[in-house]
Amino acid sequence: MSGLLAGRVAVVTGGARGLGAAIASRFRTEGAGLVTLDLEDADEACDIADEAQVRAAFARIAERHGRVDILVANAGLVPRWRELGALDMAEWDRVFAVNVRGVALSLKHAVPLMPRGGAVVAMGSIMSEKGAPGQALYTATKHAVLGIVRAAAQELGPRGIRVNALGPGPIATAALRGRVASRAEAGIGPAPEVAFAALDAETPLGRIATEAEVAQAALFLASDLSSGISGRLLRVDGGLA
């Protein structure tokens, strides 16, 4: 099979839905041998925050494929926005476990399977570089992801492994559409069409980016097209300042 990723083994965590599914689909069209990890409906059922499950999943990948060439550490949770005085610390621990510990565990168990080098793409956010009211938890996790990426790029570069992060802005995934609709139904947010029109208006392009565009950016970072890039955050946000 031809394509930018032909002959390469790619692992996508959180690959059963949302951005992970879009990335997995795009990689398949480029010839990658694809393995998805997710809680369900994936090639490997795995709680990415549980090291025993992650270790076992990558052991099975090694048995079937022999190696990993590309890791997309995408699995993550988006918590409710909460003011600091209303933080739920159990929620805090669970979101950090998935968004941050999950990235670290994915790297820990994928890197030994990358003896000939490769590429890692971690799912950051525009919130990896900024902050917003009510988003302390999510922002903290995405800052942490970028910190892991920057450290890993320095550590793994001599082994031929590039490590970068994606920084999507608002993307109209099913999850985001559901959150917007729920807020509208609860009377604490505008109607979905009003909310998305406002998001579009904030961008210089006049629209928010799409799942397909995030997947295209992931392909760029995973392929030889970005062979000279490591330790960076690539924003996919319609040009938000």
**158 exposure class (CB count in 10 Å sphere: 0-12, 13-18, 19+):** exposed
Q: Which of 58, 138, 146, 226 is catalytic?
A: 138
- The candidate with the shortest Cα–Cα distance to 182, out of 75, 80, 87, is 80
Q: With beta carbons less than 8 A apart as the criterion, state whether 10 and 72 touch.
A: yes
Beta carbons within 10 angstroms of residue 132's beta carbon: 11
Give the span between the Cα atoms of 168 and 125, in whole angstroms.
Answer: 5
Catalytic residue list contains 73: no
Which structure tokens are listed for 78? 């988006």
Beta carbons within 10 angstroms of residue 109's beta carbon: 21
| Mutual angle of helices 89-96 and 136-156, in 10-degree steps | 20
Give the span between the Cα atoms of 48 and 39, in whole angstroms.
Answer: 8
Give the angle 25-215-150 at the CA atoms, nearest 5°: 125
Beta carbons within 10 angstroms of residue 2's beta carbon: 8
Q: Which residues are catalytic?
A: 138
